[in-house]
Amino acid sequence: MRKNDERGRTLIYLDNAATTWPKPEAVYQAVDQCMRKKGANPGRSGHHMALMAGRIINETRGLIAQLFNIPEPSQVIFTSNATEALNLGIKGLLKPGDHVITGTFEHNSVARPLERMREQGIEVTKLPVSLSQGILPAQVEEAVLSNTRLIILNHASNVTGVINPIREIGKIARDKGIVFMVDAAQSAGTLPIDVQAMEIDLLAFPGHKGLLGPQGTGGLYLRENLSLVPLEEGGTGGNSEFLTQPDLCPDRYESGTLNTPGIAGLGAGINYIFQEGLEIIRRKERMLTEHLLMGLEEIPGVIIYGPPRGMERAPVVSFNITGKEPADVSFLLDKMYDIAARPGLHCAPDAHRTLGTFKHGTVRLSFGYFNTMEEVDQCLAAISAIAGE
């Protein structure tokens, strides 16, 4: 797939951990067709176009349930992104006096809501993270207190790609009656996720990253019989005679008009994943990541962070060049070599405190399904040239 930016220049896009680009052609078409031909308000009217819009919502909800092995599509709540989903889960569940277990590699979408809740009487334990194995299950078990209400962890780090042992931690949480919430920002559409086998109670996911949908989409899986305090109240398309929010899921958590064109694109992105095969996508992204790591190891002055080559990781690599600022390296990659990377803290300052890269952070390269080995080779040549300057 040819990837040209607005300047008409061929771009090597390696910032897929922030948002995937380009999208499958079917995603662009789905958004366009929805806006042109199915642009009514879903669930708000009984005419033909409104019914078609509602069908888009229901079909995409079903695709998400199928992808994550969610028992009922109604347990999928649409949000504007993973951040909203995480806030809904955290703030909708916790009460003063509760205890939360989390890690030091969490995104600010988890760390900041927890910090706000700490000010309101929530106790938070942040566990150290192994750079190769993530959070160790034994650490989690030892941290459990009598008032532990929630364990919340990312599936994979957006800084180093290290993968947490979600299945093992999920079993601990279920055995102890603790709610287990997983941030799948770097894993949805990239790593296999089965909410039942992994015993996940709340799964927050973005639509615009590995699921290949548009920005402004995301969702939250909510286990049956688990209720949250909604972030918002308002019109839900039904039960309009009552002044209180309905109890029914997902209506309870989906006030206002949904992003129907975005959800149409998200459905097309998930269909593309089913068409290509998640394992094929994973295999290609793993191959690209390993090739990059192998090349970076050969460049003098390059420091690589995260699991060593050969270990499972998300397709995310952070590095620095001795004596050079990450922002400067990223600037040169963009301006001189048309390579899109991301420098800085990646909204995960605790992770950089652990790595010793706070405050300047790292240069992050992250792959998607449409990257190629040739692009990796060009990127390695560019990094080698910058390191040698």
Active site residues: 347
Kindly give, in sequence order, each residue whose CB lies less than 8 Å from that of residue 57, ignoring residues fewer than 6 positions away: 42, 43, 78, 258, 260, 263
**Alpha-carbon dihedral of residues 285, 382, 380, 334, nearest 10 degrees?**
-20
E-only strand ranges, the chain: 12-13, 76-79, 99-103, 123-127, 148-154, 179-183, 202-206, 218-222, 302-305, 316-321, 339-340, 342-344, 362-366
Pairing state between β 76-79 and 123-127? unpaired
Q: Please give the structure tokens belonging to residue 160.
A: 């180093």
Which CA distances in Å does 158 have to 108, 248, 346, 364?
11, 34, 7, 9
Query: How many other β-carbons are positioned within 10 Å of the β-carbon of residue 31?
Result: 21
Residue (of 160, 107, 133, 136) closest to 355 by Cα position: 160
Residue (of 183, 217, 212, 20) closest to 87 by Cα position: 183
Q: What angle do the packed helices 278-296 and 373-387 form, to 10 degrees?
A: 20
**How far is Cα 120 from Cα 129, in angstroms, rounded to an integer?**
26
**How far is Cα 101 from Cα 39, in angstroms, rounded to an integer?**
43
